[in-house]
Amino acid sequence: MRPVLADVHAAAKVIAGVADATPLVPSPHMSAVCGHDFLLKLENMQPIGAFKLRGALNAVAGVREAAGVTCCSTGNHGRGVAYAARERGIRAVICMSELVPQAKVDGIRALGAEVCIIGRSQDDAQAEAERLVREEGLTEISPFDDPLVIAGQGTIGLEIMAARPDTEVLLVPLSGGGLAAGVAMAAKAIKPSIRVVGISMDRGAAMHESLRAGRPVEVEEVASLADSLGGGIGMQNRLSFPMCRDLLDEVVLVTEDDIYHAMQVLYYEDRIVAEGACVVGLAAVLSGKVSVTGPAATIITGRNLDMEMFTRVITGQDVKLGDMVIEGKRYGT
C-alpha cells in the first residue's frame, strides 16, 4: 500500500508536460545566510499556482470509474483536482459549505469543475462528497492520505535530486503530510543520507501533535499566515502519518512573526510572491531553529494568497489573525 520510488517514477510519466519541471533556483540572500547553496523549488509557477496539481493529476489518472471524482477542499487541492479532471476529460464535483468566500467558488468553477454548495460547515461538505461516492459512483481524492497523491508529490523530490544530487538538507512545509511523505520517500530512496525536515506553524500543527502522541490527534484550527498548512491529518490516517513518522528526521515549528519576516525576505530579496505556507523553510533557518550544514533546498509550494493581506505584510503593517495581532515591522528596519 505504501508508495515506493517506482511509483514516483511512474507518477513522473503521468504528470510530464503538465505539472513537472518547475525551476530550481538559488536564493543568493539565503545562501549567504547559510554559507551553503540554498535552493528554491518554484511550485508557485504551476498552472494552478501550487504543487498539488502533481498529486491530483496522478490520482485522477488512476481512477478506474468513468463517473468522475470529488473532494471537499476549497484550497489548492480543490484547484488541483478540478484542473486535473478537466485535463483528463472527466467530471469533477468540488463540495464546499455556504461559508466559503465567493472568490474561491469562482476560482474552482473557472477551472471547469462543478461546485456543490451544501450546509454550513466543512463536515456537511464532507458528508456530501461521501454521498456522491455512494450514490453516484464518484471517486473521492484525499489531499494527502492517498498513495497516488503521495507519489505525485514525490516527483518534486525526484526533480530536486536529479538537478542537485549534492543536496544534503530538504526543508519541507508540512500539513497533512502528503508532500513531506512523498518528497522524503523519493529523496531518501535516491540518497539515504539526506536530512529531511518538516516545518509547520506553531499553532494548530496537527502532524506535529500526532507524531508526539504516536497516533493521529485532532487540533484546534486557528488563523495563520500559513493558512494552507491548517487542518487535521484525519483520525483514520493510513499513509501520510506513518510515512512522516518513519521518514522525517525532524519536525520544526515556526511562529507567525517568523513567517511574517520570511515573507518579506522572499519578496524583497528574491522578488517572489508566495503564500505564508511556502516560507516556513526560510523562516526556520532565519530564526535559527534549523541549522544547515550543506547544500539545502526548500519548496515554494504555492502563490494562492489574499493579496490584501500580502500587501500588509510587505509594507510592514500589523496583521490581524482571529484574536491575534502580528505587530508590523518594515523590512530592513
Ligand X SMILES: *Cc1c(COP(=O)(O)O)cnc(C)c1O
Site residues for ligand X per CB under 6 A? 50, 52, 75-76, 143-144, 173-180, 228-229, 275, 277-278, 301-302
Closest CA to 157 of 277, 51, 278: 51
- Minimum CB–partner distance for residue 173 and ligand X (Å): 4
Tell the burial category of 165 from Cβ atoms under 10 Å away from its Cβ (0-12, 13-18, 19+).
exposed
Would you say 68 or 232 has its CB closer to ligand X?
232
CA dist., res. 55 & res. 241, Å (int): 17
- Minimum CB–partner distance for residue 139 and ligand X (Å): 19
CA dist., res. 100 & res. 78, Å (int): 13
Would you say 171 or 278 has its CB closer to ligand X?
278
Would you say 66 or 103 has its CB closer to ligand X?
103
Would you say 1 or 66 has its CB closer to ligand X?
1
- Minimum CB–partner distance for residue 260 and ligand X (Å): 17
- Minimum CB–partner distance for residue 330 and ligand X (Å): 26
- Minimum CB–partner distance for residue 175 and ligand X (Å): 3
User: In this structure, which amino acid lies at residue 23?
Assistant: P
CA dist., res. 322 & res. 97, Å (int): 20
Would you say 180 or 265 has its CB closer to ligand X?
180
Rg (the chain; Cα; Å): 19
- What does each C-alpha distance from 79 to 52, 91, 155 come to in angstroms? 8, 14, 19
